[in-house]
Amino acid sequence: MEYSEKVLEHFMNPKNRGKIEDADAVATEGSPACGDQVSVYLKVNAETLIIEDIKFQSYGCASNIATGSIITEMAKGKTLEEAKKITWQDAASELDGLPPIKMHCSVLAVDTLRSAIKKYEISHNLAEQEKFSKATIIEELEKILYPKVGKNLIELKMVKYVGWDEGVAIIDLDIPKFDEYRDNIVDEIKEHLEKYPEIKDIKITMM
């Protein structure tokens, strides 16, 4: 696996690493058990809504550290609305690309940034907590990339059915038995959904 010089630079000398003790908002996404976790801390100017300071902590591989680093550089000095527009593709591009199998690190970093922003907005009455629904499950599936090609499960039409019934998420996937990433994808789906208190069970069927 080859990394760009920029990825290696941010891995060896990460920017904005650490935590903000009196942060206005904190979000943590991912799971050490699954290999990657990122926390993002925000300090926001309440009048201008500009991100005046941002730091991250990372548990994971070189790509995880590099994407945490670059996402803080991209968001610092931006308004919340501007920072929300940063995509995982933008973050990967800023690093001069990532190997397809590591693109999920870029998704995780952006997802954590957006979660921190959402927490700030909810705590300051700038947004309301969204009600969990089938659409929430689909949004989470759109964040899970198939490692071979770096595209999400919905885009690749690997998801054949999504249901939501009294706390149970029901997902049918079209992934053959011989696929080497089959178990990893199931683990990642559970990691994305189990963070929601509304989820009581997750039923995944392979077609």
Q: Could you give the residue numbers annotated as active site?
A: 34, 105
DSSP string, 17-78: BS--TT-SEEEEEEEGGGTEEEEEEEEE-TTT-BEEEEEEEEES-HHHHHHHHHHHHHHTTS
Give rounded-to-5 percent helix, strand, coil for the chain: 40, 25, 35
Give the whole-angstrom CA distance, residue 189 versus residue 126. Answer: 29
